[in-house]
Structure 1
Amino acid sequence: MRTLLTILQSIVAIVLIVVVLAQPSKTNGLSGLVSGGAGDTFYSKNKSRTSEALLSRITVISAIIFAALCMIQNVVK
C-alpha cells in the first residue's frame, strides 16, 4: 500500500512541477510600468476560457491531490 501511494505521489509531483513551469508569468515587468497595464481587451474579458485558466485549474487540482496523498501516507505509517 505504501509503495502504491509513493508511486502515485511521485507522479502527481512531476505533473505539478510540469504544470507550474508551463504557466506564463503573471507580472508585466517594466512593460507594465511604461504602458500602464492591460486594460479591457478581448483577452482579459475571456480569460476564463484560455489555456492559462486550464493550467491554473490543473495546478490547483494536482496540489490538492498531492496534499491529500501526503496526509494519507502519514496515516498509513
Structure 2
Amino acid sequence: MDALVLVITILQLLCGLAIILIVLFQSGKSAGLSGAIGGVADSFLAKNKARTLDAKLARATKWVGALFLVLTLALLILM
C-alpha cells in the first residue's frame, strides 16, 4: 500500500509541474488596446481557433487538471 501511495504522489507532483508549465506557456487573454480595436479580425480568425496552440494548451490544462483532481482524491482515500 505504501508503494501505491508513493507512485500516486509522484504522479501528482508531475501533474502539478505540468499544469504550471502549461499555464505559463499560454498567452494572455486580453491583448490590450490593440485587441479592442482589432475585434473584427478576431471573428474572421475564429473559425481556425480550435487548431491554434493556445486552444491545445487550454484543452491540455483541463485534462491535466482533471487528472490532478482524481489523483488528489485517490490519495485522500488511500491515506
TM over 0.5: yes
Instruction: Give the whole-Å Cα distance in 2 for the aligned partners of 1:57 and 1:36.
Output: 25
Q: CA RMSD in A?
A: 1.4
The amino acid across from 1:4 in the alignment is V
Gaps in structure 2 of 5+ consecutive residues? none
Cα deviation per residue 1:11-51 (whole Å; 9 max; x = unaligned)? 01111110011001111222234x1524422x322101111
Instruction: Give identity over the alignment, percent.
Output: 36
- Residue 8 of structure 2 corresponds to which residue in structure 1? 5
Q: Give the length in aligned residue pairs.
A: 75
TM-score by length of 1: 0.86
- Residue 75 of structure 2 corresponds to which residue in structure 1? 73
Gaps in structure 1 of 5+ consecutive residues? none
Give the helix-richer structure, 1 or 2.
2
- Residue 55 of structure 1 corresponds to which residue in structure 2? 57
